[in-house]
Structure formats: C-alpha cells, structure tokens
Amino acid sequence: MDDRVILRVGAKILIPFILLFALYVQFHGDFGPGGGFQAGVIFAAGFILYALVFGLGAAKAVLPPIVAHTCAAIGVMVYAGTGVVTLLLGGNFLDYNVLAHNAEHGQEWGIFSVETGVLITVFGVMVAIFYAFAGRRRSEP
C-alpha cells in the first residue's frame, strides 16, 4: 500500500467530506431526500474507504470492532427507547406528540431521535459486516 500515493492522498481528502455529507444527509432528511438509513451507510462508507486504502489494521485502530458492534445495539436501543419514553410520558408507543410542549415540536424531537437511532445502527452494522468479511483469511484449497 505504501506506493499508492495518489490513492492515499485522494482518500485522505475525500473521507472528511464523505463523513460531512453523511451528517448533512442525516440532518437535512426532514427537508430533502435522505435520512438515518442513507446517512448511516454513507458514514460507514467513509470508514470502509479508509480500511480499503490504509488496511484493515489501521481501520480497526481508528474504530475497533467492539465499537461497531456496540453502535449496532445502541441504535436499536435509542429507537425503542424513544417509544418507551413516550409510553412513560403518557402517550402511545412511538407517539411523539407527548415529547414536547406541543405536538409539532414533539414530532420534531421524536423523528430526530429515531433517525439518530437508525443512523447509529446502520453505521455499526455496515462497518461490522465489512470487518467480518474482510477479517477472514482465505482458506487453503
């Protein structure tokens, strides 16, 4: 990998913009196309590009597999937890109206919260599946 200067420099330039674009897709999902799922995939793609160019070891040093696994679980918990919070506040499961002083703000908070959950889960799952595939050594025939 050491001789591929153009690839390394190009990836280094691109990765911050990929991550930034993922956040744009996440937070702009209310107004344009996109949302937690797409943002999670793009965010994961940034790390996968890093792993492809700089090697799996370097990527695992930046983002250990245990973090990806934990992210995958935390996202589901954030999503379902939003439902539990609305239950505790006296609404139905995932009825965001009760999350704030009026229904519209409650919806805004609820959608933001569940989209964050989706983002975290999708990001963790994509990176972890990539690690699982890339981490296997080729079996001898």
- Interface residues with another protein (CB under 8 A) are 25, 29-38, 41-42, 44-45, 48, 52, 65-66, 69, 72-73, 75-76, 79-80, 83, 93-94, 96, 103-105, 107-108, 110-111, 114-115, 117-118, 121-122, 124-126, 128-130, 132-139
Q: CA-to-CA distance for 83 and 23, rounded, in angstroms? A: 24
Tell me the closest approach of the beta carbon of residue 17 to another protein, in angstroms: 15
> What's the closest the beta carbon of residue 43 comes to another protein, in angstroms?
10
Cα 73 from Cα 58, distance rounded (Å): 24
> Judged by CB, which is closer to another protein: 63, or 110?
110
Q: Is 95 helix (H, G, I), strand (E, B) or coil?
A: coil
| Shortest CB 75 distance to another protein, Å | 7
CA–CA dist 7, 58 (Å, integer): 16
Angle between helix 65-88 and helix 103-134 axes, rounded to 10 deg: 160
- CA-CA distance, 140 to 45, in Å (whole number)? 30
Q: How far is the CB of 77 from another protein (least distance, A)?
A: 10
